[in-house]
Amino acid sequence: MIDLARATAVCAVADIPREGGVAALVDGVAVAVFRTHDGSVHAIGNVDPFSGASVLSRGIVGSRGTAPVVSSPMYKQAFDLRTGACLDDASVSVPSYDVSVVDGVVLVGGVR
């Protein structure tokens, strides 16, 4: 569960396009925050482990099977928005963060 006292308020949920993402700075670290089509919000690390560039928030959000995913804008690997797991390479993942929406504000907590 998210520790509200230590969470960072990053933006209004309306600031994140539906099926889009934004990058936020949380304790000096770049986090990609996404809103899926059903309105749920997810946060994973922003750095694409395959290129090292901080760009995952700019990827295309969609689905693979039942998993909500973002595909990296660099080399197109898909990451599960819920866990940060790379679905194209089981040995790779990015951190996933606790995230919550309170009064229309997106709060990002610690690494899960």
Partner 1 sequence: MTKRQRIVVVGHGMVGHRFAQAAVERGLTETHDVVVFGEEPRAAYDRVGLTSWFGHPDGAEGLSLLPGGVYDDPRVRLVLDSVVTEIDRAARTVTVVSPPSAGSRDGRQGALLDQRGEPGAVTVHDYDVLVLATGAAPFVPPVEGRGKDGCFVYRTIEDLEAIKAASETATSGVVIGGGLLGLEAANALVQLGLDTHVVEMAPRLMPVQLDDAAGVTLVRHVEKLGVKVHTAVLTEEIEGDSSVTGLRMRQAGTEEGAPTEVVEAQVVVFSAGIRPRDALARECDLETAARGGVLVDEQCRTADPHVFAIGECAAPGGTMYGLVAPGYAMAEVVVDALLDGPGTFTGADMSTKLKLLGVDVASFGDAFATTDGALELTYADAVSGVYKKLVVAESEAGDGSFRLLGGILVGDASAYGTLRPMVSSGLALPDNPEQLILPASSGVQLGMPDEAQVCSCNDVTKADILHAVAEQGCESVADVKQCTRAGTTCGSCVPTVKNLVEEHFASVGKVVDKGLCEHFRLTRQELFDVVAVHGYRRFDDIVEAHGTGRGCDVCKPAIASILASQTSTHILEPVTAELQDTNDKYLGNIQRNGTYSVVPRIPGGEITPEKLIVIGEVARDYGLYTKITGGQRIDLFGARMEQLPAIWKRLVDAGFESGHAYGKSLRTVKSCVGSTWCRFGVQDSVGLAIALELRYRGLRSPHKLKGGVSGCARECAEARGKDFGVIATEKGWNLYVGGNGGATPAHARLLAGDLDTETLVSYLDRFLMYYVRTADRLQRTSTWIEQLEGGLERVREVVVDDSLGLGAELEAEMARHVGGYADEWAATLADPAKLERFVSFVNAPDTPDPTIAFTTERDQIQPIAPALIPVGAPA
Q: Which of 8, 83, 93, 100 binds partner 1 (CB under 8 A)?
A: 8
The one-letter code for the residue type at 59 is: G
Tell which positions 68-97 bind partner 1, by CB under 8 A: 68-69, 71, 73-74, 76, 78
Q: Work out whether 15 is an interface residue with partner 1 (CB under 8 A).
A: yes
CB burial class (10 A; 0-12, 13-18, 19+) of residue 46? buried
Please tell me the count of residues contacting partner 1 according to CB under 8 A.
Answer: 42
Buried b (16+ CB within 10 A) or exposed e, 11-34: eebeebeebbbbebebeeeebbbb
Residues that bind partner 1 (CB under 8 A): 8-11, 15-20, 22-25, 28-30, 33, 36-37, 45, 47, 51-55, 58-65, 68-69, 71, 73-74, 76, 78
